[in-house]
Each structure stands twice: as structure tokens, then as C-alpha cells.
């Protein structure tokens, strides 16, 4: 007879066993995520250049690195560019994703499955693979975009070098990030749409509400928390975007596409100023946290007003 049937109390190890099972995962997470974060913060308070990297013995300098970073005009220019980058991408992602989700809800079964499959495939495409495709599309001589524009009669785009102009490079990167981000947001919003009772839509239509009124009075209020969550996730995703920018432009031409993550990498790796790069990285995290807190407070305030 086992311990439970005999009335014996389970051993203390049995109660701790679930926690022991997750210890390796927690230890790995702490080592891969928490330790680098703490190490970066520590370096941001040290004089840590190539010499200290080789021989060790970095000296603590307090807030000198932060004072140097915050006192430079270049940092604030990068901050403004990063905020513009984030705002443009997130707005486009949310608008397009909402439109796609509403469209999917109106499609027939066959077409709906086809669109959902296309979104899943787009979402599953590796970041660098998608980035390479966009580089091919906008090549000056062999790119599909230039060929199509010239075919349509825009002769000025023959051999046009997209990546030599800051504005066009910025626009291409926005298109790339939006293209990669829309599938997740659209699929999530469509899943939320399926939870809204059909009776609410029928009642709104009987009252003579237009499609726009139905969305603002029924769909959006019910899915407001979901919209808030997706927006928060997209802010995080876009704000810390690095691979696409570095692979296509390395922050150029000039500094047209240099955002905070790219700037931190440039300072740390190209200039070998690891202390300043760590300070910029820490400030990047703090700015992102401030943006998210502001967004979440606004979202909770709206929910409180509705209650």
C-alpha cells in the first residue's frame, strides 16, 4: 500500500520536487539573462576599455560615464531618432494588423485559411533571411523594385541606389520591420475577434451603426486590453530592433538609421569604449521601461474609467 492510501504524510522532498525540477531552467535563465544585465550595469560605472578587457582591474568612476553620454548632443539625437522609429513602426503595425484581422474575420473558410497560412509563413521566416530578401528587392541594378518602377515608366529609378539615401533606407527598414511584425499582431487580434459574441454585432447593426461605429463602440472597447498588450510587445520589439538595421545599413548612411541599440554597439565594439556602451545600453533599458510604464498607466486608467 502506498503512502497516500496508508495515511502516511508525504515526504518533504515530495513537496519540493516541483520546485527542484525548475531549478535548472531558472539557473540557466539567470546565467544567460540576469548575469549579463548585472555585468553590463557594473561596467557602466567603471573605466572599461581595451586595456581593462585584457588585463582586468577596471576602476570604478561613479557616474562619469553617464555624465559623458548624457552631456553629448549625439546621444539625444539618437534618442529622438529612436522614438520616431518606434512611433512610426508601432502605429503602422497596429493599423495594418487591425485591418488585416478585420478582413480575415470577413473572409470565407478557404480564403481565411490561405491568408492565415501566409501570415504564419511570414512570421516563421528568420529575421536575417527576410532582411536578405529586402536587400535583394532594393538592389540598384538587379532589384525587383527598380525593375518594376522602370517598367511602369519611372525612368529615374533605373539603377537607383536606395541605400545611399538616409530617408529611403529608413523607409525600407520600416517596411521590413512592419512586414515581420504584422503577422503576430494580426493573428492575435483575429483570435480576440473570435471571442466577441455575434449578438453584439447584430444588435449594433439593427441600431443602424456603421462599420466604423461598430468597431469603436463594440470591438475596440472589448479588445482594449488585448490592443494594449500587443502595443506593449511591439514597442519592445521595435525599440530594441538591431539585427535588421545592422545587416542592411549599420546605422547609416551617415546616422540616418542609428537607433539606441545600434549606437550602443557602435560605441562599445567599433570604438572599444565598453564603459560608455554599457551606459548607453542601461539608459536604453530605462527609457524603454519609462515608455512601457507610461503606456500601461494610460491603459489601466482607461479601464478604471470604464469600470
What are the tens digits of pLDDT across the range 182-205?
999 999 999 999 998 888 888 888
- What grid cell was written down for 252? 547609416
Residue 277 burial class via C-beta count within 10 angstroms: exposed 0-12, middle 13-18, buried 19 and up: buried
Interior/surface letters 34-47, b for 16+ CB within 10 angstroms, e for the rest: eeeeeebeebbbbb
The angle at the Cα of 35, spanning 67 to 71, to the nearest 5 degrees, equals 10
What pLDDT sits at residue 270?
A: 86
Answer yes or no: are the C-beta atoms of 299 and 220 closer than 8 Å: no
- What grid cell was written down for 286? 530605462
What pLDDT sits at residue 4?
A: 47
- What grid cell was written down for 16? 519540493
What pLDDT sits at residue 306?
A: 59
Tell how strand 59-60 and strand 46-47 pair up: antiparallel
Whole-angstrom distance, CA of residue 223 vs CA of residue 239? 24
Residues of the chain with pLDDT under 70: 1-13, 302-307
What pLDDT sits at residue 35?
A: 86
Whole-angstrom distance, CA of residue 214 vs CA of residue 137? 39
What pLDDT sits at residue 3?
A: 47
What pLDDT sits at residue 13?
A: 64
Distance of CA 251 to the CA centre of its chain: 17
Q: Please name the helix (run of DSSP H) or strand (run of DSSP E) that holds residue 59, with its range, or none.
A: strand 59-60
What pLDDT sits at residue 227?
A: 93
pTM value is 0.86
Whole-angstrom distance, CA of residue 57 vs CA of residue 204? 70
What pLDDT sits at residue 234?
A: 94
What pLDDT sits at residue 147?
A: 94
Amino acid at each position: 500500500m502506498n503512502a497516500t492510501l496508508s495515511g502516511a504524510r508525504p515526504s518533504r522532498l515530495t513537496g519540493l520536487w516541483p520546485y527542484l525540477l525548475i531549478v535548472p531552467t531558472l539557473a540557466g535563465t539567470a546565467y544567460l539573462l540576469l548575469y549579463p544585465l548585472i555585468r553590463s550595469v557594473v561596467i557602466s560605472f567603471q573605466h572599461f576599455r581595451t586595456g581593462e578587457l585584457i588585463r582586468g582591474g577596471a576602476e570604478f568612476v561613479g557616474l562619469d560615464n553617464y555624465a559623458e553620454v548624457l552631456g553629448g548632443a549625439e546621444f539625444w539625437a539618437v534618442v529622438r531618432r529612436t522614438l520616431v522609429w518606434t512611433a512610426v513602426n508601432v502605429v503602422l503595425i497596429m493599423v495594418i494588423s487591425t485591418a488585416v484581422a478585420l478582413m480575415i474575420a470577413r473572409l470565407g473558410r478557404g480564403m481565411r485559411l490561405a491568408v492565415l497560412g501566409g501570415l504564419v509563413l511570414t512570421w516563421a521566416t528568420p529575421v536575417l533571411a527576410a532582411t536578405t530578401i529586402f536587400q535583394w528587392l532594393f538592389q540598384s541594378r538587379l532589384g525587383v523594385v527598380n525593375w518594376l518602377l522602370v517598367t511602369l515608366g519611372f525612368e529615374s529609378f533605373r539603377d537607383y541606389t536606395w541605400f545611399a539615401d538616409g530617408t529611403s533606407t529608413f523607409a525600407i527598414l520600416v517596411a521590413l520591420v512592419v512586414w515581420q511584425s504584422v503577422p503576430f499582431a494580426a493573428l492575435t487580434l483575429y483570435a480576440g475577434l473570435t471571442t466577441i459574441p455575434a449578438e453584439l454585432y447584430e444588435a449594433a447593426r439593427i441600431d443602424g451603426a456603421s462599420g466604423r461605429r461598430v468597431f469603436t463602440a463594440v470591438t475596440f472597447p472589448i479588445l482594449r486590453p488585448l490592443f494594449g498588450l500587443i502595443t506593449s510587445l511591439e514597442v519592445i520589439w521595435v525599440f530594441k530592433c538591431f539585427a535588421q538595421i545592422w545587416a542592411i545599413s549599420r546605422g547609416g548612411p551617415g546616422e540616418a538609421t542609428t537607433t539606441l541599440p545600434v549606437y550602443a554597439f557602435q560605441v562599445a565594439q567599433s570604438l572599444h569604449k565598453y564603459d560608455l556602451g554599457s551606459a548607453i545600453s542601461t539608459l536604453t533599458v530605462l527609457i524603454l521601461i519609462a515608455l512601457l510604464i507610461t503606456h500601461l498607466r494610460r491603459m489601466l486608467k482607461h479601464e478604471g474609467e470604464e469600470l
